[in-house]
Amino acid sequence: MWLTILLLLVVLVIWWQYRFSHRKRINLQAYAIYLLLSDQIRDDHQLKFFDYLVNLDTDYPLKAAYLATGAVERMSSELAEKGSLISAAAMIQQVRRQWVEELTKEDADRSVQKAIERHHRRHPDQP
């Protein structure tokens, strides 16, 4: 009986740790997407992070690194409370759409330029 209860507790602890680490990983991934795709968010968070680093109350580099890592995890968790995974997916789709439009326009411009060059090669006397 005690062995069964102990086994169930161990399984519950492992499951909880897995859920916690998985959620943290997803939050950090979404946060990285935000930072990579939005200059405004990156600049704002960079200023806040620099301010946090300057105001740390420690002289030990390892403790400062530990506290800085915790600050990044807190920022990603705060962002996750606002629905960061869905918002990050929307940002990705928006950026993809913009890039496809720009690349399609550039391809069209290149195609027109190539057609003009072919025309000039075939008919050098015409403008």
Domain extent listing, the chain: 36-85, 95-127
The pLDDT of residue 127 is 61
pLDDT attached to residue 90: 77
The answer to whether residue 106 scores a pLDDT higher than 80 is no
Using 50, 70 and 90 to split pLDDT, how confident is the model at 126?
Answer: low
The C-alpha atoms of residue 8 and residue 28 are separated, in whole angstroms, by: 30
State how far the Cα of 13 lies from the Cα of 66, in Å rounded to an integer: 25
pLDDT, tens digit (0-9, with 9 covering 90-100), for 66-76 = 898 888 888 88
Give the Cα separation of 110 and 118 in Å (integer). 12
Greatest CA span in the chain, whole angstroms?
98
pLDDT for 9 beyond 80? yes
- Under DSSP, the state recorded for 82 is T
Read off the pTM: 0.59
Q: What percent of the chain lies above the pLDDT cut of 70?
A: 91
- Condensed to tens digits (0 to 9), the pLDDT of residues 18-64 reads 777 777 888 788 888 878 887 888 888 889 889 988 888 888 889 98
Report how far residue 16's alpha carbon sits from residue 85's, in angstroms, rounded to the nearest whole number.
Answer: 21
What value does the mean pLDDT of the chain take?
80
